[in-house]
A and B are shown apart, each in its own frame.
Chain A
Amino acid sequence: MSDTTKKKTMVADVDRNLYDFKKAEKDVEKLASGLTEDIVRQISAKKHEPNWMLEHRLKSLKIYNELKVPNWGPDITDLDIDNIVTYVRSKTKMAAKWDEVPADIKDTFERLGIPEAERTSLAGVGAQYDSELVYHNIQDSVAKKGVIYSGIEEALAGPYAEMIKQHFMKLVPPSDHKFAALHGAVWSGGSFVYVPPYTTVDIPLQSYFRLNSPGAGQFEHTLIIVDKGAYLHFIEGCSAPKYNVANLHAGCVELFVGENAHLRYSTIENWSKNMYNLNTKRAKVERNGSMEWISGSFGSHVSYLYPMTILNGEYSKSEFTGITFAGEGQNLDTGTKILHNAPHTSSVVNTKSLSKSGGIGTFRSAVTMTEKAHKSKSSVSCQSLMLDDKSRSDTIPLMDVRCDDVNVGHEASIGRIDDEAVFYLMSRGINENEAKTLIVNGFANPISKELPLEYAVEMNNLIRLEMEGGIG
């Protein structure tokens, strides 16, 4: 046993090493810890943003001070907001050429494989380092179609300013919850995407977020508008090195899916295990449009993450596919919310959750059928796999039905690896660990096959590494 324990530790180190390199903080200016009106004004002033945005920030700050932290979900008392340096900024300008990105930041992203991916399989890439975007680029052919992919702050000063004003924090109002208000007050960086009507972006756009400073927060805002009949696949990746102090991520993603439009939004979240990930994501879908979420949660110390879809137009659809792997020291509370607010809407939710080495995984969901949701359908299925008896897995779904001619189904199951399946594989000459790894990968497979290839490979590797030390 001691042998395997040792190996496990070693493996875990190797695993994290990929993301765990730190960069010395140089050329940075930091603002004082804690959140005051003064800090908010300073942030705003530095950004030379329109006045309505400053007002928005101040209003959000007020709401932030009034709201309480949630009384449900994982404990976040260790997250003392006064200790979060809310704004950390690297003294660099955003670049549109990779060569212009400062060497150490460039090195970071190169080690994460970002430029490589851009060359091979992406239509555009944005990279955020701490609070600011450091790099943004879009392929000419895509830009020619009229597709906009730029930093949101930059876009606020351009021809799309009015469009942004009309949509910014309209889906996720600062009053939504305390961390949405925090976001509204101190948001910084993030991307703006606009896909014009009937435009198909064949290859995905990607944003990559990296949080490098210890004890920092990242509050990027992503606003995507997919107009009538258009198609987009957007990929989001996140990582951070591990520090002993808590980091906070309170980003916000707002997605507007127009009539007959289709948006696919994939995320692999692999923040380091000292991260408080209190991210809010929301999509609104118009008539006959469809929203697809692919969500993999592997990192973070604590996560509150429930991408929400508002099905606002007749025949609109939502599909949510998610996997959460809670390992040592992690408390990951993830799931989804769906609001059926028009006739003939449909939603499908499929999630898998794995808990290991004392990790806590919670699946939380809410499906609402409003009085308008005639003939709508929803089916939720969630499966949890317990990999040892030290871990925990909870399922907390909710169904709120206010319309009679609907169909709402829910099924969930929990259990461990089926002994008989292990026996079957072993009877064919496969060793126990290999058998279990195969089974766990098989469990995750319906999700990983929805991921972009390089992420699927990464996810399978993560599982393999986690499993290598043996189970239980």
Chain B
Amino acid sequence: MDTILNGNNIPVLTWNHFNVNYKQIQLYNRPDDKNNPVITGDSTGMHIKNKTSLDNFLISGNDAKTASYIIANASITKTITVNKDNSVETPLIFDMTLKDNDKLTALFDIILEENSHANIIVSISSSANAAGQYTDLIRIHAKKNSSLTFTCLQLLGENFLAFNNAIAYVENDAKVTIHHMPLGGKTALASALTDLHGYKAASEIYADYIGHSRQDIDLNYVTRHYGKKGLSEIKMTGLLLNDSKKTARGTLDFHHGCKGSSGNESENVLLLSKTAKNKSVPLMLCDEDDVVGNHGAAIGALDEEHLFYLQSRGIDETSARQIFLDSAIARLKNLLPQNLAAKIDTYDKEVLCNESL
């Protein structure tokens, strides 16, 4: 028997016939296949154990059912505690490689003690045409004046279902940056929720995707402002090729009392195929007057003015499309350490090579 659940629930419902209120998925109930994450990079001043710690976490995610599925199924459980006052620039990398038909569930707790700073990357990949299922939940507790950059690189095969979840509780003067790169999989879901409880707590959520072939990408990002003078940013950027489709929900939720907070949400979608489909739902919920909230979305083909500029330098339309794709790939590579950047090159060669522009 499989578990059928509604993931990526939007915080406030809208018209049902647009099919954006949630994404229904079917998940295996069989046990996980064995996997040993390869841990590299800098773990000075950090504590890693193979057990969870945030079992009574202060918040639950966007979907309680997804969270309980992952908690019940997780065969990889880890806690990474970053010691007080400890600051590490170079990333700590958890690299998981899945085989064809694997099922894997991971649950990571990341605790940043006061005044600590860390950079953590989780990378999940498989061969280009593999099938299987990968789900994870990353719970982040950022204590006073700490900061975390968390990156999730998902490069699973073309028949995978992937669902990356991150939730963060952010205290005074702390900042959490979550960067999702849901690049692989047939169905790629990604969700993050940041709860800004502290004074001047901040979060940034970035999602970058390259929809290709018949990929179905489904995103759900929420930032909830509770503390005063919070600062948030949600930014989704991507391009859609071929028959890919993408749904993006982004929500800035200003709760009563979050005075002086400011949030910004933006989305940019470049449609590079006649048959690609895009849905965007950028929500702004506001129960407080002393806030500034902005969102903007731009969806479409290459802009005529942009195209003119490029053409005035001799670049024809097809090449223009290619540079947009190349630039997107180059940008992602720049954000990653060399060995992971190399995986993106492989993805570019093996997966994106067949895309018509």
Whether A and B are associated in the same complex: the answer reads yes
Residues of chain A at the chain B interface (Cβ within 8 Å): 71-73, 364, 366, 384, 386-389, 391-416, 472
Complex CA–CA separation, A13 to B284 (angstroms): 33
Q: In the complex, what residues of B have CB within 8 A of residue A395's CB? A: 282-286, 295
Ordered by A's residue number, 22 sampled pairs between the chains whose C-beta atoms are within 8 Å are A366-B14, A366-B15, A388-B289, A394-B285, A398-B279, A399-B280, A400-B279, A401-B280, A404-B272, A405-B271, A405-B300, A407-B299, A407-B303, A408-B298, A408-B299, A409-B296, A409-B297, A410-B295, A414-B286, A414-B292, A414-B293, A416-B290
Do B299 and A412 have beta carbons less than 8 Å apart?
Answer: no
Q: Is B274 an interface residue (CB 8 A)?
A: yes
Beta-carbon nearest neighbor of B20 in chain A: A398
Distance in Å: Cβ of B271 to nearest Cβ of chain A:
4
Distance in Å: Cβ of B24 to nearest Cβ of chain A:
16
Asked, given contacts A394-B284, A403-B274, whether A414 binds B14 with beta carbons under 8 Å apart, the answer is no
Distance in Å: Cβ of B110 to nearest Cβ of chain A:
32
Distance in Å: Cβ of B257 to nearest Cβ of chain A:
8
Do B256 and A400 have beta carbons less than 8 Å apart?
Answer: no
Do A404 and B289 have beta carbons less than 8 Å apart?
Answer: no
Q: Is B68 an interface residue (CB 8 A)?
A: no
A-B contact count (CB 8 A): 137
Q: In the complex, what residues of B have CB within 8 A of residue A387's CB? A: 289
3 smallest CB-CB distances across A and B, nearest first, come from A386-B289, A72-B13, A404-B271
Beta-carbon nearest neighbor of A385 in chain B: B289
Q: Is B276 an interface residue (CB 8 A)?
A: yes
Q: In the complex, what residues of A have CB within 8 A of residue B290's CB? A: 389, 416
Complex CA–CA separation, A393 to B256 (angstroms): 12
Q: Is B71 an interface residue (CB 8 A)?
A: no
Do B282 and A389 have beta carbons less than 8 Å apart?
Answer: no
Q: In the complex, what residues of A have CB within 8 A of residue B281's CB? A: 396-399
Complex CA–CA separation, A413 to B20 (angstroms): 22
Instruction: Indicate which residue in A402, A411, A414 contacts B277 across the interface (CB closer than 8 Å).
Output: A402
Complex CA–CA separation, A392 to B287 (angstroms): 5
Which residues in window 234-277 of B have CB below 8 A to A? Answer: 254, 256, 259, 269, 271-274, 276-277
Asked, given contacts A71-B13, A404-B301, A415-B291, whether A410 binds B286 with beta carbons under 8 Å apart, the answer is no
Q: Is B318 an interface residue (CB 8 A)?
A: no
Distance in Å: Cβ of A127 to nearest Cβ of chain B:
34
Q: Is B278 an interface residue (CB 8 A)?
A: yes
Q: In the complex, what residues of A have CB within 8 A of residue B277's CB? A: 401-402
Asked, given contacts A386-B288, A416-B290, whether A394 binds B273 with beta carbons under 8 Å apart, the answer is no
Do A415 and B279 have beta carbons less than 8 Å apart?
Answer: no
Do B294 and A412 have beta carbons less than 8 Å apart?
Answer: yes
Which residues in window 1-32 of B have CB below 8 A to A? Answer: 12-16, 18, 20-21
Residue from B12, B259, B276 having most chain A Cβ neighbours under 10 A = B12
Do A414 and B284 have beta carbons less than 8 Å apart?
Answer: yes
Distance in Å: Cβ of B101 to nearest Cβ of chain A:
33
Q: In the complex, what residues of A have CB within 8 A of residue B13's CB? A: 71-73
Complex CA–CA separation, A366 to B283 (angstroms): 12
Do B18 and A408 have beta carbons less than 8 Å apart?
Answer: no
Do A411 and B286 have beta carbons less than 8 Å apart?
Answer: no
Q: In the complex, what residues of A have CB within 8 A of residue B16's CB? A: 71-72
Do A406 and B301 have beta carbons less than 8 Å apart?
Answer: yes
Asked, given contacts A413-B294, A414-B292, whether A392 binds B274 with beta carbons under 8 Å apart, the answer is no
Do B18 and A394 have beta carbons less than 8 Å apart?
Answer: no
Distance in Å: Cβ of B233 to nearest Cβ of chain A:
15
Do A396 and B297 have beta carbons less than 8 Å apart?
Answer: no
Complex CA–CA separation, A414 to B291 (angstroms): 7
Instruction: Indicate which residue in A403, A405, A413 contacts B293 across the interface (CB closer than 8 Å).
Output: A413
Q: In the complex, what residues of A have CB within 8 A of residue B256's CB? A: 389
Do B274 and A396 have beta carbons less than 8 Å apart?
Answer: no
Q: In the complex, what residues of A have CB within 8 A of residue B283's CB? A: 394-397
Asked, given contacts A366-B15, A397-B281, A400-B18, whether A384 binds B286 with beta carbons under 8 Å apart, the answer is yes
13 further A-B pairs in the complex, CB-CB below 8 A; given A395-B295, A414-B286: A72-B15, A389-B290, A394-B12, A395-B283, A396-B281, A399-B297, A401-B269, A401-B280, A410-B282, A412-B293, A413-B292, A414-B292, A414-B294
Beta-carbon nearest neighbor of B293 in chain A: A414
Instruction: Indicate which residue in A397, A399, A407, A416 contacts B278 across the interface (CB closer than 8 Å).
Output: A399
Complex CA–CA separation, A398 to B254 (angstroms): 20
Q: In the complex, what residues of A have CB within 8 A of residue B288's CB? A: 386, 389
Q: In the complex, what residues of A have CB within 8 A of residue B280's CB? A: 398-399, 401, 410
Distance in Å: Cβ of A412 to nearest Cβ of chain B:
5
Complex CA–CA separation, A406 to B302 (angstroms): 9
Asked, given contacts A72-B14, A398-B281, whether A406 binds B300 with beta carbons under 8 Å apart, the answer is yes
Distance in Å: Cβ of A258 to nearest Cβ of chain B:
28
Beta-carbon nearest neighbor of A408 in chain B: B299
Do A412 and B300 have beta carbons less than 8 Å apart?
Answer: no
Distance in Å: Cβ of B118 to nearest Cβ of chain A:
33
Do A393 and B301 have beta carbons less than 8 Å apart?
Answer: no
Instruction: Indicate which residue in B14, B274, B292 contacts A415 across the interface (CB closer than 8 Å).
Output: B292
Do B282 and A407 have beta carbons less than 8 Å apart?
Answer: no
Instruction: Indicate which residue in A71, A392, A398, A404 contacts B286 across the interface (CB closer than 8 Å).
Output: A392
Q: In the complex, what residues of B have CB within 8 A of residue A366's CB? A: 14-15, 18
Q: In the complex, what residues of B have CB within 8 A of residue A409's CB? A: 296-299
Beta-carbon nearest neighbor of B247 in chain A: A400
Beta-carbon nearest neighbor of B300 in chain A: A407
Complex CA–CA separation, A401 to B293 (angstroms): 25
Q: In the complex, what residues of B have CB within 8 A of residue A388's CB? A: 289
Complex CA–CA separation, A404 to B242 (angstroms): 11
Q: In the complex, what residues of B have CB within 8 A of residue A401's CB? A: 269, 271, 277-280, 299-300
Beta-carbon nearest neighbor of B273 in chain A: A404
